[in-house]
Structure 1
């Protein structure tokens, strides 16, 4: 037993050293998103043949020079978006990043005091974005392609928009788990060999976790969750913390967001995601413009860009499913993710999350013995 423990400890230590060494040798600026195929600013802002902003709006936005973004999106992913936007437009984005529940508290507090500091707000969870909207934190704004967007993208006459959906599946540490031994399905995670070596986020961590649990209950059943709980997983309060633990080799397998795995891998972390045969969860991210924006023109350009074909391409390159139903599914780490119409990506629908949310949380907490 002592020799086995020593071997496992050595393997984990070696993996951590490998990640650390890789991080030291990695470039300080990681580039996941390529440049636009074509970009012109002679007659406004035209990217890949699509007018993102006319001459008047773009001139005003350039004069403002910057905008303030409040975001609940994963920080590393949001920074990739900002990098691409600033590269395309020359407009600086000042980011305030908070986990979604803290972001909701801040927005409602500032809006209630008439001191909302954001020009635009990005957040997950339909319930949160609806609460912000009801509090008056958003103003209707129609992006140029508004008439081509369906009711699952544009809400409340353009008060806010669904922009993309991250994919929530699971991943493994490639320094400690070979591809041959890696789990290929959700059911594989119930193999006794993973006991005490896997991780998951608690159901109340945010819209991502709520959508994952809804998917698991709907597609896999309550007995599956009981089997997963019996594996004694390490429970995390955020997917970001879980991703870091997986990259360091503290756990071997864990639930994971594809885009976060993509960014971690680009920074030399030994991680790879799996497309399970049973499918995986998608969850929504929304974007809206505030009524008292200090940089209204720059905010409008940001809105337009996010809902443009270029924006869809950027999100796809990061690893997200664009809200645009005409956009192709992402190719991430040379893995082609399945199209929506295959039925494998399952979006957590707002009405289902609202209907089942409290019951799902109660079931999950009981099964895992979790007290939040």
Structure 2
């Protein structure tokens, strides 16, 4: 009996000593998590709206449930546009069915006051471009890079476009493919270059006989098949296909590299705030970001290596798609389609 008492006392003393000697930041984060866990046990539920593929979002949620088995999760997966419309409709009706959302259009939800501020302790590991550094309303989960891609059997690395302006070379006329809804790319160049320069560039590009297709996955596949030598592609998609043997590559020297960010944000009126904050901390953690990288995604967290060294954030001239894109969507669509005669 005395032996067991001594062991328990030793354990208590060791825990006290550890708490006193641990770095202050770690102690604060541990206290933060403990408070959330206590509250989440009382809530017992979590509702997540996301545009992440179900093959990616469901395993993350399964891992979360294993770590916090007292939380039952409910996942609604749809396109970012559908989630945006659903949330806005629900909020206008006075319903707050979701606890958190993860979509590229998170800025629109912020503008509709559907997202509330929450600064996760994990957000310190994210560069300012990939989080709401001012208001704390969102943090990126993963990114998509819009870049020039090329068929390596048809175009050499030396010959491949190094700048967006290189697409205007007469030799590429009729040989470039672009998604017919490449609005985020267009809007971001407007923000980066200004209207005069962008309009001039787009007008010249419109004379290049663009081969319009729908979907970046399809475009990468057709480029690999030799249907056209150049395209605007997602870098992570090219990396994935290239590793499978496709004769394609991409260029990381353009300025800017347009970046869409799938971001997570807390509901402004969550039914399960503690569980929601726990999940935000969880999905932004290094372990979860490494899992996202295993999906061949580009994780937003700075201390997690991307799928390719070419994607290293600090070496690229990144420009995030402006968050007013969704609210001015019809205007941008009209202008883009008018320029290219679509």
TM-score by length of 1: 0.62
Q: Distance in 2 between matches of 1:144 and 1:334?
A: 27
Residues 7-86 of structure 1 aligned to structure 2 (within 5 Å): 54-55=33-34, 57-58=36-37, 67-73=46-52, 75=53, 79-80=55-56, 83=59, 86=62
Counterpart for residue 100 of structure 1: 80
Deviations 1:46-82 (A, max 9, x none): xxx8759735645876998874432235x3xx74465
Q: Distance in 2 between matches of 1:117 and 1:86?
A: 21
Deviations 1:80-117 (A, max 9, x none): 46545644763687654433323211222233345555
1:286 to 238, 263, 282: 263
TM-score by length of 2: 0.66
2:151 to 167, 173, 181: 173
Q: Distance in 2 between matches of 1:219 and 1:212?
A: 11
Q: CA deviation at 1:304?
A: 0.8
User: Could you say what secondary structure the match of 1:129 adopts?
Assistant: helix
Cα-Cα RMSD: 4.6
Computing the radius of gyration from Cα coordinates, the structure with the larger value is: 2
2:164 paired with 1:186: yes
2:308 to 316, 333, 340: 333
2:203 to 214, 226, 249: 226
Q: Are 1:215 and 1:281, in contact at CA under 8 Å, matched by a contact in 2?
A: no
Q: Distance in 1 between matches of 2:166 and 2:59?
A: 38
Q: Are 2:108 and 2:323, in contact at CA under 8 Å, matched by a contact in 1?
A: no
Counterpart for residue 338 of structure 2: 366
User: Could you say what secondary structure the match of 1:335 adopts?
Assistant: helix
Q: CA deviation at 1:300?
A: 2.2
- Point out where structure 1 has 5 or more consecutive residues left out of the alignment: 1-42, 44-48
Counterpart for residue 90 of structure 1: 66
Question: Is the alpha carbon distance of 1:51 and 1:196 closer, same or farther for their aligned partners in structure 2, counting shifts above 3 Å?
Answer: farther
Q: How many residues align?
A: 310
Q: CA deviation at 1:145?
A: 5.2
Counterpart for residue 345 of structure 1: 318
Q: Distance in 1 between matches of 2:93 and 2:76?
A: 18
Counterpart for residue 115 of structure 2: 138
Question: Is the alpha carbon distance of 1:282 and 1:193 closer, same or farther for their aligned partners in structure 2, counting shifts above 3 Å?
Answer: same
- Point out where structure 2 has 5 or more consecutive residues left out of the alignment: 1-18, 20-25
User: Could you say what secondary structure the match of 1:167 adopts?
Assistant: strand
